Amino acid sequence: MRYLTLIIIIMLFGCKTQKLQLETVNQLDLKKYTGTWYEIARLPNSFEKGLKCTTANYSINDDGSIKVVNKGHKTDEPDKVKQSTGKALVPDKAEPGKLKVSFQWPFYGKYWVLKLDPEYKHVLVGTPSGKYLWLLSRNPDMDDREMLEYVEYAKSKGFNIQNLIYVAQDCNP
């Protein structure tokens, strides 16, 4: 029990990170957002380490929550796929761009929609800690000009774009 208390204290007070001043999109049509998104770029994270051809697929559950299925091929064994299924919620309808995502209940992380193409072709998602950032597209590749626009936007918000990983999307479907 003592160790559990120590872990909780460390989680609450020991992991102090600087928060970015982020604004999210004012409108998010979840029906338009559903479907497959290809990961174009991301900040390094442990759960996608060594993955390429990563995608996120969103669908709406009967209860209004969002089913999230993330997939990626291992770079050293491209025939092997790693998949995670989770659930996303919009906790406050007044702030539709501030979602919460869980891949291991009861723990939820922030999933903030920061910049979204009006036609839902490209999206920039991040966290106010600045630790996580994803650039997603409806297609496995993205026009360089558009990609630069999203990356520069992320930089202007304080994300460390020097560490961006540009994701290879060269796997067979």
* Binned average pLDDT, 10 residues per bin, the chain of 173 residues: 38 54 94 97 95 97 96 92 95 95 90 97 97 97 96 97 96 74
**Is 172 a domain residue?**
no
**Is 137 a domain residue?**
yes
- Alpha-carbon span 102 to 127, nearest angstrom: 14
Give the max Cα distance, the chain.
54
How many structural domains comprise the chain?
1
Residues 124, 115 contacting (CB under 8 angstroms): yes
Q: Minimal CA–CA distance to 173: which of 139, 124, 133, 125?
A: 139
Residue with tokens 């995502």: 101
**Is 126 a domain residue?**
yes
**Is 30 a domain residue?**
yes
Determine the 3-state secondary structure of 31 from DSSP: helix
Do β-strands 51-60 and 107-116 pair in parallel, antiparallel, or remain unpaired?
A: unpaired
**Is 70 a domain residue?**
yes
Determine the 3-state secondary structure of 71 from DSSP: strand
**Is 28 a domain residue?**
yes
Determine the 3-state secondary structure of 74 from DSSP: strand
Residues 100, 88 contacting (CB under 8 angstroms): yes
Q: Within 13 Å, how many C-alpha atoms sit on residue 112's CB side? A: 20
**Is 8 a domain residue?**
no
CATH number at residue 132: 2.40.128.20
Q: What pLDDT, on a 0 to 100 scale, did the predictor assign at position 159?
A: 97
Q: What pLDDT, on a 0 to 100 scale, did the predictor assign at position 4?
A: 35
Determine the 3-state secondary structure of 104 from DSSP: strand
What domain range includes position 152?
20-166
**Is 75 a domain residue?**
yes
